[in-house]
Amino acid sequence: MQSLWNDQEAATFGTDLLGQRVYTSRLLGRNPSLVLHGGGNTSVKVTEQDFFGDSVDLCYVKGSGWDLATIEPAGFSPVRMEALIKMSKLATMSDEDMVLQQRAAMTNPNAPAASIEAILHAILPFKFVDHSHANAISALTCNADGEARVKEIYGNRVIIVPYVMPGFILAKTIADLIAGRDLRKDGIQGMVLLKHGLFTFDDDARKSYELHIEMVTMAEDYLAKRSATVPVAGQSPASETPDLMALAKLRQAVSKRRGFPQIARLNASPEAVGYANLANVATFGTRGPLTPDHSIRTKRAPAFIGEDLDASVQQYADDYAAYFQRHASGQTMLDPAPRFAIWPNQGVVCFGDTLKDAKIVADISESTAATVQLGESVGGWEPLPEKDIFEIEYWDLEQAKLRKGPARKVHQGKVALVTGCAAGIGFAIAESLAEQGAQVVGLDIDKDIPDIMKKIGGIGIVVNLTEDKPVQDAIDFTVREFGGIDIVVSNAGIFPKNDHLDAMAQGDWDRTIMINLTSHQKLMNKVIPFVKQGIDASIIFVGSRNFKAPGPGASAYSCSKAALTQLCRVAALELAPNKIRVNIVHPDAVFDTKLWTPEALQKSATRYGMTIEEYKTKNLMKVEIKSKDIGNMVSAMASPLFAKVTGAQIPVDGGNDRVI
């Protein structure tokens, strides 16, 4: 492992101690083999003047919820050293009291809650303290001979700490180990916490950081010399054609056990497939996490997927319930769904409430796979016993980290496919679904659709919906990327020029029917098999007032929308046994679209003898219908509000006397 220290970069963080602390914390956070997604913690001790001008000794320690890779000065909590030292001398202390007293001892009440390791950082007599969950340390110490290995590598440079519960208990354990010792005189430069992680410390920011890099490198070198096997990279071909239908079924099975729709990310790389195909991976790959901190993201272990997907997920759920019963003492069991799964011949699948959550689990699972197989190859992977993992997984201080998130959105975890969404009604639909938590994939012939969908956090694919292969490719991409499809909004359409039947060019009729009707049928043919594996699945067509109230010169458009309505009705009949809802929304007079330029609006208003404002509100309720109104309606139709509605035709037009 190489030091990432750069003098020029370091200078941009200033020469003050907190600035240096921010810089070296970020250096640790940049390396995923040291910390991942909020893992690890760092601190610096300073003397400052308080509000009244009195000198106060503070320990600036990483605040809860901050990530070392991106931490700012505001991410460190200033806690009075005097209070932390007093806490370290107590015989016992509850978690609740520890958190409360640390908060009370902060000089800035607006700062984040201090790390649960704040007391430990305070009792170490060095300005800078760095702590990581380095993969190499896990591979080194998750073994029956872990302590002997640490002594062999580091000699008397480190204190070896047996595994104990993090927080106050760990701080007390280390306080006892260092009591009466002069760590500087004894040449102590760090601590190795067996089956947990590494601490290094110094009065200089760079030295503490580079001590960390040096000690991790020593562990890596030791393991490399004793490794009996090479990493699996390249040993199994990447799964270029994963079983997408099986992936959708697996996601559905996991979502049911979780109680909510889940995003599923399949890692089908050579490394992941190779790992999933290792002999006995079902045994050693499910023994436990690299570090107990990971358990709140991944649970104690992944699922192993056999030939029967649903049975494999159910077996995991049953095993989890039994694990809970073995160790519970008054807690309420969390959901029994896996957070990632080892899937032979396919790779590793990771699940999450959101795409961000799934990616976090994916990063942890990738790091876990590499470290577990290394640990197994150098004497056997022996992580913490399940009882210790249970204590962390159900530790309220850890669960509190997950509870801090925002309230769950209506479509969170769902995957939505929306056609014709580069502008107007289609974009508004995609935006409304995304605002309610859906992961949206937009299909449109507009070459700018990728950039347009980025605005709402979605993915845009340029597709001619009248062509079979591009449509199938887009559907396959969506399933491969997110695990399935739950919502389909078939919106794409055109409005041809107004010609009477005796003047209409045959090409205009054929093109309108192809885009406004046949392309929707083609989409249904290809997407329904995946929607059948969706969660609370829903298909929504976008029709038009014209299907009931056509006008002269709009035969192609009116007929195509009438036929589309009939297609919706047939789909509702066919898919009801699968609990898939199929409905259609009929907008009218939506003028905030590209079609309606100011000139076109003025021309139409003049034809009716109205002002533009009168023309835009010429419905019974005298209200303007906007694209966002249609978007919000479609989002509602895909929600539990319409859970028992199928085959419905919903007008959004302010009331039309010809329709009513």
47-51, 82-86, 187-191: least confidently modelled range:
47-51
- Order the strands of the 41-49 sheet from edge to edge: 76-80, 55-62, 41-49, 128-132, 197-202, 190-193, 158-161
> What pLDDT, in 10s, does the model give residues 279-301?
999 999 999 998 888 998 999 99
For residue 237, the model assigns a pLDDT of: 65
Q: What is the pLDDT of residue 259?
A: 95
Question: Which class for 530: exposed (0-12), middle (13-18), buried (19 or more C-beta within 10 A)?
Answer: buried
pLDDT digits (tens, 9 = 90+) for 342-371: 999 999 999 999 999 999 999 999 999 999
Cβ atoms of 168 and 95 closer than 8 Å:
yes
Specify the pLDDT at position 402. Answer: 63
DSSP assignment letter at 138: H
Q: pLDDT at position 234, please?
A: 45
Give the mean model confidence (pLDDT) for residues 80-106: 95
Among 209, 275, 557, 615, the one annotated catalytic: 557
Per residue in 577-590, pLDDT (tens digit) is: 999 999 999 999 99
pTM: 0.91
Does residue 105 sit in helix, strand or coil? coil
Overall average pLDDT of the 121-136 stretch: 97
Q: Contact at 8 Å (CB) between 401 and 38?
A: yes
Same fold? 7-226, 244-403:
yes
pLDDT of residue 230: 46
The rounded mean pLDDT for the chain is 94
Confidence label for 233 from pLDDT (cuts 50, 70 and 90): very low
Identify the CATH homologous superfamily for domain 244-403. Answer: Class II aldolase/adducin N-terminal domain (3.40.225.10)
Contact status, residue 157 vs residue 66, Cβ threshold 8 Å:
no
pLDDT in tens, 602-660: 988 998 899 999 999 999 999 999 999 999 999 999 999 999 999 999 999 999 998 88
**pLDDT above 80 for 240:** no
Q: Name the DSSP class of 59.
A: E
DSSP conformational letter for 412: T
pLDDT at residue 401, as a whole number: 63
Q: What's the order of all strands across the beta sheet hosting 303-304?
A: 263-267, 347-352, 340-343, 303-304
Residue 191 has pLDDT above 60, yes or no: yes
Neighbouring CB atoms inside 10 A of 196's CB total: 26
**Fold held by 7-226:** L-fuculose-1-phosphate Aldolase (3.40.225)
What are the residues facing 462 on neighbouring strands? 444
Query: N- to C-terminal Cα distance for the chain?
Result: 73
Can 557 be counted among the known catalytic residues?
Answer: yes
In the predicted structure, residue 228 carries a pLDDT above the cut 60:
no
Query: Closest Cα to residue 70, out of 94, 106, 36, 115?
Result: 36
Structure confidence by residue, pLDDT tens digits, 424-471: 999 999 999 999 999 999 999 999 999 999 999 999 999 999 999 999
Task: Name residues whose C-beta falls within 8 Å of residue 488's C-beta, 6 or more positions apart in sequence.
Answer: 416, 417, 418, 523, 527, 531, 538, 539, 540
> DSSP secondary-structure letter at 580?
-
**528-571 confidence digits (pLDDT tens):** 999 999 999 999 999 999 888 888 888 999 999 999 999 999 99
Q: One-letter amino acid identity for 557?
A: Y
The fraction of the chain above a pLDDT of 90, given in percent, is: 86
Domain range annotation of the chain = 7-226, 244-403, 415-590+625-652, 594-623
The class (CATH top level) of 415-590+625-652 is alpha beta
